[in-house]
Amino acid sequence: MAKEWTLLVLCGILGSGLSAKPSWFRNISTNLFKSPGDILIGGLFPINELTSELSKRVKPDDLECNSISTYGLSLALAMKFSLDEINAKENLLPGITLGFESYDSCMQPAVVMRPVLQLLTKESTEELDVTCNYTDYKPRVIAIIGPNSSELVPVIGKLIGFFLMPLISYGATSDMFSDKETFPSFMRTVPSDRWQVAAMVQLLKEFGWNWVSVVGSDDEYGQKGQQQFSSMANEESICVAYQGLIPVYSDPEQAVKEILNRIVDAKVGVVVVFSLPKPARDFFIEVIKRNMTGVWVASTAWALNDVVSTLPGINSIGTVLAFADITRPLDLFTPYIRELFTKMEEMQIPQEPDTEISPLDNPCTRCSHLSQANVSMVEIKLVQRSAFSVYTAVYCVAHALHDLLGCNATHCTLNPKTNNVYPWQLLRSLQKVSLDLEGVNFKFDKEGNPSFGYDVLQWNFNDTKVRFDVIGYFYQNLTINKNNITWHTKNGKVPMSTCSSDCGIGQVRRVKGFHSCCFDCIDCKEGTFLNSSDDIQCKSCPAGQWSTLRSTSCVYPIYTYLDWSNYESIGLILGGILVLVSHVWVGALFFRHRGTPLVKTAGGPLTGLMLLSLAGECISLVLFLGQPGDVVCRLQEPLNAFFPTVVLSVILTISLQIVCITEFPEKSSDHLDNIRGRGSLFVILGCCGLQAGLCGWYAQEAPSLTQYVASLEVTYVKTFLRCPVEPMLNFGLMLGFNVVLALVSFMATFMALKPPGQYNLARDITISTLSYCVIWVMFIPIYTSLNDKEKSIAQVGVSLLSNMGLVATYFFPKCQLLVKHPELNTDDHFRTFLEGVPPTPPEES
């Protein structure tokens, strides 16, 4: 009965929710990235993340972005939501429909150029005209929303600025884009970093803090922010005791520990953290471990990010004062996405994503599988705030068009279907636009920056949760209510932070500005050292030596390898033993049933050769373990490639027999003995001989380990040493030859008819060779993205996996018949392959 009442209540809630949905929800299109309209707006969003290595790029299209970013996808949907809402409003652009085309920026300059060129093509064409006068040039879209990153704007901003097409960013905060001579059409709906730095400096002055440290992420955002903060703080007589950068593209643990050591040594009570969310998270993990407390001033990038605020123990770090872009909740956004995903789920047709489709046609092929289970991705606080910035940008374009077209509440003077409207005209209207969104007045200043600043927040801790309380506001000047601040200090009072500190070991002193008491302690970078505190600059290490950050001397490098006692090595050894045991068991079973029809069909004596080769490959993998040497490195890759060749060449001979029986039935009985005898021997010897030649060529061309080590440029103190896999062409040919053998066998058997009432040998070959091909083809992209240690482990692991795959798919089905169904081990059950009698297709009823 309780269940029935619960169901009724839920139905009532859902029913009331459905009735509250706006009527225009019924007309939502399930096309996420394109929609037709009288006027088109372009969008650039980080819908995917880079999955290929930029360093391996040879051709312009050698880039892959195959990992969906739910954050970027959510912002693209925010633009779709905004335009659908605008089109549903009768008093905004009456009689005119706004369409859009959204593209993936992949957060990469090399990727974003393609959609930008597409958006600049002439209206209704795929052509970008070259003319002497672009005043009357009408491009595909009238404005572009995006990009989200300051890193992309320098690449596309000047090009788009040439056309004077509005480029309205919802996330690029670098102050350099305020230069209207360089970026004449750039605008944004988030404040410039210059304002954020000014807000931080005013906050420090408000509480009399003149001795602080600033930590940034080691990227453009953190570096520029740190640089601007230091400069502005110096102008306001605030001394920066220490500056540190958190590594973004390498393991930050040691660097963070050193940064915190320097902060402790500097005895500062206030730390400004100008960082991206992930480096900030790494930073505060160590802060929590050390039980450090203080005042932490948070930049907008991580101020509200869950990856930091949900850290266990975050309530122990002291007082966090944060800046966040002013935003307002979009009440209809989440219901809209739920309705959209519901429609998509109802329309879904089970099919694999088309990976061949151009990103310009569909930037997210897997998005067709979105469902109500994915709605939570737009409910994240960070997405909700960024969505408002996208929402504002779209509405600015709509209101500017409303003014440009001479619209009132019922009609427009100009019709874009008959009257030409150009981006440069819209740019002038945007510069004058003023609108109220969710209770916030918005307009652009002369530099294209928004008319609002930041909320000033304090993190207040409620058990393990963080509550973000507004304590002030900044727009040009700081307004703060000190009575609303709860200081997480021992006495509950405002902490002090005054100026004085010394540089540590491995740092050189650089005086800042005109304040002798305040200076930067500059770390000696890797590859340099400082052996005397009186030196004014770091010295470079001699050739063949290297140093770590803040070293007092240089050392010769230390090389590590896959030691026998390592956990990874032990795991690989155990795996190898398991595979060898399977070889022995299969070999014993086949030897016991030697001469029987099944063993003859499987290859007869050649099955013993196959098992010995598989065991040889397994044993040869020990060459990857232990300290490498010249001889070991010469044998390592050739043996790993040669043994599988023997196995696959035997399988190839059996595949050829199947082809002879199934494709040439009238001649099979006459030639089958020759194929099984001398023909098989010829194929095996030929394949093995060719692979032996490739292996010999590889061994001859490859440098010895000694030569390889001598040629290395030492830029490390400790690194993993593996045998050189060079030349890559020769290495690829050895592995590729085996894949070709497997592929030929697969092609020869996958269409072969199943003998009615008999054993299907072709099936075993098809599955075994297919599994071999899939494993090694998948190995290629995985291998290229790994470091040296991981490459060695991956190659051994994949070799064992492919070895076991051949045993499991080729031998185990036969073993099952021998063990479970010995009565089928008869001539009749294997007549097709023993006597060369072609299989007869089953009669159709």
Say if residue 62's pLDDT is above 90: no
Tell me the C-alpha distance between 565 and 367, whole Å: 46
**Model-wide pTM > 0.75:** no
Predicted local distance difference test score (pLDDT) of residue 97: 94
Domain 567-835 in CATH 1.20.1290.10? The answer is no
Compute the average pLDDT of residues 539-546. 88
- In angstroms, rounded to a whole number, what is the distance separating the alpha carbons of residues 311 and 321? 17
What is the tens place of the pLDDT at every residue in 322-380? 998 888 889 899 999 999 999 988 887 655 555 556 667 788 888 888 888 899 899 88
Both structure tokens of 172: 């690029």
* DSSP label of 319: E
Report pLDDT for 8.
40
pLDDT at residue 22, rounded to an integer: 87
Task: Name the pLDDT band for 671 (thresholds 50, 70, 90).
Answer: low
Domain boundaries, the chain: 32-52+62-191+330-347+358-443, 567-835
For 692-705, the pLDDT digits (tens) are: 999 999 888 888 88
Please determine, for residue 254, whether its predicted confidence score (pLDDT) is greater than 60.
yes
Q: What is the pLDDT of residue 406?
A: 93
Topology, domain 32-52+62-191+330-347+358-443: Rossmann fold (3.40.50)
Which has the higher per-residue pLDDT, 382 or 539?
539
pLDDT, residue 96, reads 94
Domains 32-52+62-191+330-347+358-443 and 567-835 in one fold:
no
Let me know: does 838 contact 680? Beta carbons within 8 Å. no
Rounded Cα distance, 666 and 837, in Å: 9
pLDDT digits (tens, 9 = 90+) for 7-41: 444 444 444 444 467 889 988 999 999 999 999 99
Of the candidates 132, 642, 43, 121, the one whose C-alpha atom is nearest the C-alpha of residue 364 is: 43
User: Which of 252, 824, 751 has the alpha carbon at shortest distance from 593?
Assistant: 824
Q: Which of 814, 775, 817 is nearest to 798 (CA)?
A: 775
Cα 352 → chain centroid? 21
Cβ count within 10 A of residue 806: 23
Res 827: pLDDT: 74
Beta bridge partners of 559: 719
SS (H, E, C) 531-593: CCCCCCCCEECCCCCECCCCECCCECCEEECCCCCCHHHHHHHHHHHHHHHHHHHHHHHHHHC
Would you mind telling me the total number of residues written for the chain in this entry?
A: 845
Looking at residue 56, its pLDDT comes to 75
